[in-house]
Amino acid sequence: MPKRLLIIYTGGTIGMKQTAHGLAPAPDLAAEITQLIEMGPSFQKNPPVLHTLSYEPLIDSSDMTPAVWLKIATDIEQRYDNYDGFVVLHGTDTLAYTSSALCYFIRRQGKPVVLTGAQLPFGFPRSDARSNLISAIEVAATMPAAMAQVCVVFGSKIMRGNRVTKVSANAYDAFDSPRCAPLGSIGIDIHFQGARRTVHEQSDPLPTLALPPDNAVVLLRLYPGISAQLLRAVCADTVTRAVVLEAYGSGNAPSRCPDFLNEVKSVVERGIVVLVVSQPLDGVVSFGRYAAGSSLAGAGAISGRDLTTEAAVTKLYYLLACGCASSEIANKLRHHVSA
């Protein structure tokens, strides 16, 4: 029996057309998809049944917001029983944020949700749009049930949704997962490998999601010379509930700058969660490795361990949307941060 897949077209380069003002999202990708599958040799034997849902208006991924993350997740959950899998077409600029967000905001588990996009639109010479779309559809139709999860298919890789990051604006392998082994590879054939999906037992009823303001979570990157005043200013907004701090190496921060560390402590004491991630692509936060890292732990910051920046930001938005208090968020992050 053929698989039933829903393709959600949110916008992005994959379906853009040239305009007088540059590339812009175009609404006629559904016709391209239908023609593509009719011609696609990969699906001649047992082609999946495809339905499409196009957003109106279409969204350039640079305009992505937490509200759209919730919309995508809601659209999938409302149709979850009607399809065997889902493909989300998305712009590349913020695709890693959306794939991370969907790992948290989609609470139903057991079916593949595959995000993809393109570096060049359909119709452009040497475009990767066709190959990425075909690969995403095939992965959604064939991913083993034990591995079914939110993932990103791009170029030659299948990657876990909340461990992926964009590493190139020009290469066809534009995304990588340096802190987590890939879920599979794409060549002449598709090979699945690696980790099964993470399953969380949920005994209590799921809370209704209510998104906090967009600036409830802020992102701050450490750099030489950073001051306590900057952190103070970042956290001055009364709606700020959490800070993702991109630290050096294994979670290091200026240890000879007591003002900065005191400000971190002050922020935490005010009920603002400070979650620390690593700046290097393959970095993992380990506060005990250096004294410079221990200082952040002593100030009350929480280790994000192997979380990417994208996963840290979206996980915090999700926990806030669940209505969790600061103490509850801190507790969840300390015990389940790698999920």
Is the pLDDT higher at 14 or at 304?
304
Instruction: Kindly indicate the confidence band of residue 17, based on its pLDDT and cuts at 50, 70 and 90.
Output: confident
For the chain, list the domains and their CATH numbers. Answer: 4-192 (3.40.50.1170), 214-336 (3.40.50.40)
Say yes or no to pLDDT of 34 above 80.
no
What pLDDT is recorded for position 123? 77
Q: Which of 80-94, 197-211, 240-254, 302-316 comes out lowest in average pLDDT?
A: 197-211
Peptide bond into 57 cis (omega under 30): yes
Which has more pLDDT, 237 or 194?
A: 237
- The per-residue pLDDT for 20 is 72
Catalytic residue numbers, as ranges: 13
Which carries the bigger pLDDT value, residue 55 or residue 197?
55
- Helix residue spans in 219-298 (DSSP H): 228-234, 258-269, 291-298
For residues 86 and 90, what is the distance between their CA atoms, to the nearest angstrom?
13
Q: Do residues 12 and 2 lie in contact, with contact meaning Cβ atoms separated by under 8 Å?
A: no
Please give the single-letter amino acid code of residue 276. Answer: V
Output the pLDDT for position 291. Answer: 62
Res 270: pLDDT: 95
What sections of 2-128 are H helices per DSSP? 29-39, 66-78, 95-105
Judge whether 104 and 338 are in contact, CB under 8 Å. no
Range from 14-28, 81-95, 280-294, 296-310 carrying the lowest mean pLDDT: 14-28
Give dist(CA 147, CA 238) in Å, integer. 41
Q: Which residues contact 184 (CB under 8 A, 6 or more apart)?
A: 139, 157, 158, 190, 191, 192, 193, 194
Residues above pLDDT 70, as percent of the chain? 87
More confident residue, 113 or 1: 113
Torsion of CA 103, 105, 110, 113, to 10 degrees: -60
The count of C-alpha atoms lying within 13 angstroms of the C-alpha of 187, restricted to the half-sphere facing its C-beta, is 4
State residue 100's pLDDT score: 98
- Determine the average pLDDT of the residues in 129-156: 95
Q: Are 134 and 40 in contact (CB under 8 A)?
A: yes
Question: How much is the pLDDT for 102?
Answer: 98
- Over residues 219-234, the mean pLDDT reads 95
Rounded Cα distance, 121 and 31, in Å: 14
Encode pLDDT of 252-273 as tens digits: 998 888 899 999 999 999 999 9
Q: What is the pLDDT of residues 145-180, one digit of tens each?
A: 999 999 999 999 999 999 999 999 999 999 999 999
- Mean residue pLDDT of the chain comes to 89
| DSSP-based helix, strand, coil % in the chain, nearest 5 | 35, 20, 45
Q: What is the mean pLDDT of residues 225-252?
A: 94
Helix H or strand E segment including 7: strand 4-9
Task: Assess whether pLDDT exceeds 90 at residue 14.
Answer: no
